[in-house]
Amino acid sequence: MKAPTRSAGPASRRFHWLASRRFLGPHCALSARSDKKQTAADGKEAHMSLRNLVTLLAVFGTVLLGLWTATLNTDQVTFRVPGFPPDEVQTSLWVVTFLAILLGVLGTLLYTVLLSSKAAFMRWRRKRVDLKTAEDTELIQLGLAAAVRGDHQTALQQFEIVLQKDPERLSAWIYGGNAARALGNMEKAIEMHMRARGVAPNGSDVHDELARDFAVLGKYARAVGHLEQRLSVNPKGDLELFARMRDLLAAQCLWDDACDAQGKHIKLLHDASERRDAEALARGLRLEKGRALMEQSTMEARQEALSIFASLLKADPQFVPAYLLQGRARFDDGDVDGAVNAWTKGIAATRSLELLNELVTHYFEAGDPEQAIRAFHQSMELITGEDGRAARLGLALLYSRLEMIEEAKAELEHLESEVEFSPTVTYHLAKLSERQGENETAAKRFRQIIQAASLLEPIYCCEHCNANHPCYVMHCEECGRWGTVVLDTSEELQEVEAQAVRAPRI
């Protein structure tokens, strides 16, 4: 692509639509300040021209008044001229008066000429500065255009040219640092943004970019420090500022501070749906605080964690991670019945497969498979649809693990009759046939799933952003929500439609 030339007029207008707010913000502010200075200078120049006109009129009137006075005073006078010794001079009174007026007029004219010369010099200097500023602004716009295209090296070169001409150009330091950061040269990015800080110590844009630099380097504490300095300039803050502070504090596991930042973020929200999302995120931060307390392995910490989980469930009875951690905290505290009660209550409230898996795993590891089977049967009365079929699949696998082959096979065959085609169900039926010595049947089933072997592993999906996860996680990294990741059974266990043709059997 051919690089834009300096004569490309429309390009300078397109930058304001293509470039990001972070790139153009300081430049727009500087342009507004320049316009204000220009307006003030024009007003001062008009005031000076009016003053010169009034001065000339006053001089002209004074000369006329002096001449009139001289014609009325023709007497001879004697006055002494300073010297050693003083000299005496005799002349008419009107001559003395005229000379005095003439000296005053000359002095006034000289003062007026000096003022006019100063004004002319300032106009010349301002035009020169404006010309230089226009050239620098054009170079900055070319640099912004290169940054929008992704050519950050060219953008950095344009900004450095501006800085060679004008080391006090704040926007060039900021944009140059941004380009260096985009190139991965964090040392240069921080250096340029620090120079920008020298030009504008309290500039909010400067501290904002320094916070981004240190966040990229993983120095979250320093990033938070710069955001706090930005907040000291504008104590009210804004949504983006508090959201970034929340994320940086959460990255340091400073959950209390992160919750405070999120609380300030919520106060600035007016849209109801956005407030609900932000409050859900705040609950996730409190959940992480409770999990961190659990890791301290002290009675007081676990009690505080349990208090947090109870308050979270009171605010949102569908919050699956809170049930999970509440049960684990009670189990760690020695309250096994309380743990089982928490998971059972959670299953009844949320129909969550993950809570069912937690309960069944507990019974199995405790050496009580009958309770595990009973938990499956009780849960299947509550969990319906695709998740219900997934629960039945889990029961079949439990039967298989307990060597209850006939029961496992019966559950799997019942599932096979309900779904169109499930590689997972077919695979486990093949394994059971193989264990029973039915090798031909097993081989037929294995051939059916050869092309779908990648579907044998369970897939978890976020209900909010549809991001896939290889295993269950409480927090979706893609959208930042807690408690939205579930087992994806949409393709595995689809119910057979009426009159649907079954998948062919080999």
Coil/strand/helix, residue 81: strand
Structure tokens that stand for 263 in this block: 């609380």
The whole-angstrom separation of Cα 281 and Cα 278 is 5
User: What does the pLDDT read at residue 256?
Assistant: 94
The whole-angstrom separation of Cα 178 and Cα 427 is 54
Handedness of CA 150, 152, 158, 162 (dihedral sign): positive
Residue among 277, 325, 315 at smallest CA distance from 465: 277
User: What does the pLDDT read at residue 182?
Assistant: 94
- Residue 190: burial class (beta carbons within 10 Å; 0-12, 13-18, 19+): buried
AA identity, residue 247:
D
Coil/strand/helix, residue 86: coil
The whole-angstrom separation of Cα 471 and Cα 459 is 7
Structure tokens that stand for 87 in this block: 């000299």
Helical pair 220-233 and 204-216, crossing angle rounded to 10 deg: 170
User: What does the pLDDT read at residue 415?
Assistant: 85
Only one residue has tokens 């089933």, namely: 445
- The DSSP 8-state label assigned to residue 476 in this structure reads -
Only one residue has tokens 């001289």, namely: 70
- The DSSP 8-state label assigned to residue 82 in this structure reads S
Q: How many residues does the chain have?
A: 506
Cβ(262)–Cβ(242) under 8 Å? Answer: yes
User: What does the pLDDT read at residue 314?
Assistant: 94
Strand segments (E) across 11-169: 76-81, 87-92
- Give the DSSP H or E segment for 298: none
Cβ(291)–Cβ(305) under 8 Å? Answer: yes
User: What does the pLDDT read at residue 491?
Assistant: 57
User: What does the pLDDT read at residue 17?
Assistant: 40
Cβ(347)–Cβ(382) under 8 Å? Answer: yes
Name residues whose C-beta falls within 8 Å of residue 66's C-beta, 6 or more positions apart in sequence. 97, 98, 100, 101
- The DSSP 8-state label assigned to residue 482 in this structure reads B
User: What does the pLDDT read at residue 392?
Assistant: 86
Instruction: Name beta bridge partners: 81.
Output: 87
Q: Which pairs count as long-range contacts for 119-124, CB under 8 Å and 24+ apart, including other chains?
A: 119/45, 119/48, 122/41, 123/45
Residue 76, Cβ neighbours under 10 Å: how many? 9
List per-block mean pLDDT (blocks of 10 residues) for the chain, which spans 506 residues: 40 41 45 48 55 67 65 62 64 69 73 72 68 76 91 93 89 94 94 94 92 94 94 87 94 94 94 92 95 90 94 94 94 92 94 92 90 89 85 88 88 85 84 86 82 63 89 88 83 48 32
The whole-angstrom separation of Cα 29 and Cα 203 is 11
Coil/strand/helix, residue 4: coil
Instruction: Name beta bridge partners: 88.
Output: 80
pTM of the full predicted structure?
Answer: 0.67
Cβ(93)–Cβ(74) under 8 Å? Answer: yes
Name residues whose C-beta falls within 8 Å of residue 84's C-beta, 6 or more positions apart in sequence. none
The whole-angstrom separation of Cα 2 and Cα 60 is 65
User: What does the pLDDT read at residue 135?
Assistant: 79
Residue among 443, 25, 428 at smallest CA distance from 240: 25
